Amino acid sequence: MAAAARTHRLLFPFAFPRVRIPHRCLPLLPSPPGAGIHHRRLRPQLVIQRMVSGESQSTPSSTRIALPNGDSVEILAAPGVSDSDLRNAVNSFVFKQWLKNISSETGLLAGGLSLRQVYIQGVDMFGRGVGFLKFKANIVDKETQTKIPGIVFARGPAVAVLILLDSGGKTYVVLTEQPRVPVGKLILEIPAGMIDDEAGDIIGTAVREVEEEIGISLKKENMVNLTAFLDPNTGCKVFPSPGGCDEELSLFLYKGTADEETIAALQGKEMGLRDHGELIKVHVVPYDRLWQVTADMKALAAIALYEMAKRNGLLL
């Protein structure tokens, strides 16, 4: 018990090495009002079309929204998707983020493609907000009228942290183990979480997720954004499965020191928000074995970015 109680106070970040981050990948946090950066917000006008007397019961609900380029797009609800589901979907952060990406200067709509229709097939609520969306986007090439595959599982942006602890002359990494129903097994992962609001506090979300999943507090000023080392044309994000999912990841590095008692207290610690269905067990493994013991894409991508940043002198 005494060792576990020391977990929160025995983790001391050492002075972090100088880093050089491409300025176009910054800022990490939203710019304050009046900073000279103007964000165009998508404000869809929701007018749900309801069935009128005499129409078939299969007639779907629908609405139209305006895109920044002046086009309007019809949003249809699949059978079983209610008017409130459709309204929640169109107003959700994940859907607005998808529209923002596709409508951006580097998005698909800027490259000769046209968005004709969106067919909402499923809406999963996380409490009072939308967590996941499943929809089909009808996208065609303007010149050839060729249809582009557009099945989307939308969950929005997320963040993950590679935590390295120096202890007794060795470097350890802190992982979580939890049941992952989609793949049907337990997975060793680096701590991660969804960014579920338009404020987009990436660093704050990362720090909060580590505290919830591992039980240790990290200092924001010691967090290094590994994805900020990517070329600005990438958006400074990592896309785990762009063929079907919109998830975009920001990967962070945190380095600190810990004594052997802290490492022992973390090993096997049970964490997670039980009321959210999180059954998490903490694991601590040597960093030089991480690439072999995990199938977590987040961890493997973080290793690659960290090692390449060091090799290229971006982390000293």
Taking residues 212-236, report their average pLDDT. Answer: 92
Count other C-beta atoms under 10 Å from residue 171's C-beta.
13
In a domain, 200, yes or no: yes
Closest among 222, 213, 221, 217 to 298, alpha carbons compared? 213
In a domain, 34, yes or no: no
The mean predicted confidence, pLDDT, of the chain is: 83
154, 177, 200 — which closes off a domain? 154
Q: For residues 213 and 272, is the Cβ–Cβ distance under 8 A?
A: yes
Count other C-beta atoms under 10 Å from residue 109's C-beta.
20
Residues 142 and 275 in one domain: no
Residues 21 and 168 in one domain: yes
Confidence of residue 81 (pLDDT cuts 50, 70, 90): very high
Cα angle 122, 128, 129; round to 5: 55
In a domain, 45, yes or no: no
Confidence of residue 141 (pLDDT cuts 50, 70, 90): very high
Residues 136 and 209 in one domain: no
- State the pLDDT at residue 15: 42
In a domain, 25, yes or no: yes
Residues 146 and 161 in one domain: no
The conformation of residue 195, written as its DSSP 8-state character, comes to -
Confidence of residue 127 (pLDDT cuts 50, 70, 90): confident
Residues 178 and 199 in one domain: yes
pLDDT exceeds cutoff 70 at 65: yes
The per-residue b/e assignment along 129-157, b for 16 or more CB within 10 angstroms, e otherwise, is: ebbbbbbbbbbbeeeeeeeeebebbbbbb
120, 154, 188 — which closes off a domain? 154
Better pLDDT: 167 or 274: 167
- State the pLDDT at residue 111: 85
- Amino acid letter for position 199: A
Q: Where in the sequence is the domain holding 97, given as residue range(s)?
A: 62-154
Residues 177 and 302 in one domain: yes
In a domain, 165, yes or no: yes
In a domain, 54, yes or no: no
Q: Which helix (H) or strand (E) holds 141?
A: strand 129-141
How many domains is the chain partitioned into structurally? Answer: 2
The answer for residues whose C-beta is within 8 angstroms of residue 90's C-beta and 6 or more apart is: 44, 46, 63, 65, 75
**How far is 205 from 228, CA to CA, in rounded Å?**
17
Residues 294 and 166 in one domain: yes
